[in-house]
Amino acid sequence: MIEIVTPEKYHLWESHLQEMHRQRYRVFKERLGWDVDGKNGEERDRYDDLSPTYILGFDGADRLISSWRLLPTIGPNMLRDEFSIVLEGQAPPCDPKLWECSRFVVDLGDMNDSCLAAVNRATSEIFCGLIEYCLASDIPEVVTVYDIRIARILPRVGCRPKRKTRVFSLGKTRALAGWFDISQGVLNDVRQAGGIEGPVIRHLPADGALAAA
């Protein structure tokens, strides 16, 4: 299941957020060898100081297995401030209705990491969580910089960018930026591709905006 952790809920999810930073360190620093900040076994950057919204995914035993970070493009964000090279001189996005996703992680640990079905399920769930949250929050579009590993996963989870940049070498990885529409139709496609029935966010908004299609 998915939990949405907005800034006012940080104190309720402190231990899980710490685990998220440790998970990011294991994946980005140790496994992928990216040039990211790491201290005391945790990966953090300056965008974590900007009160982002976090999407946290849990398995059936309530262990953290995935996470994603959301920030509006009207303020500092990684596409504008770290990876603007992929825009090739175009103005970076700056729109209150367009949010940036960053620091995407799916990490099932040693026990399940080799099980493709489990990885696919976890990936589909967090994508559904992102779309459900954006629908409920009136966010019609997201942008993200993602590497070619994720690019290969996107069709498998039923999610394709409406437009994208070409691929660039960014440090030790090859990546691109993609813009994605948020709609009930996209959510239906991702649910169908992942075999997911109904909402994945554990606590639904009171207005019922996340009701199953």
Full DSSP string of 25-76: IIIIIIIS-----EETTEE--GGGGS--EEEEEE-TT--EEEEEEEEETTS-
Average pLDDT for the chain? 91
Residue ranges of the chain with per-residue pLDDT less than 50: 112-113, 205-213
Start-to-end C-alpha separation, the chain: 18
**CATH classification of the domain holding 66:** 3.40.630.30
Number of structural domains (the chain) is 1
Query: Is 91 domain-assigned?
Result: yes
Looking at residue 110, its pLDDT comes to 65
pLDDT tens figures, 88-122: 999 999 999 999 999 999 998 765 445 778 888 99
* Residue at 207 is within a domain: no
Classify residue 44: in a domain, yes or no: yes
Which tokens hold the place of 9?
């809920």
Examine residue 178 and state whether it is found in any structural domain, yes or no: yes
- Alpha carbon distance 87, 164 (integer Å): 10
Residue 143 lies in domain: 2-194
- pTM listed for this prediction: 0.92
Q: Is residue 203 part of a domain?
A: no
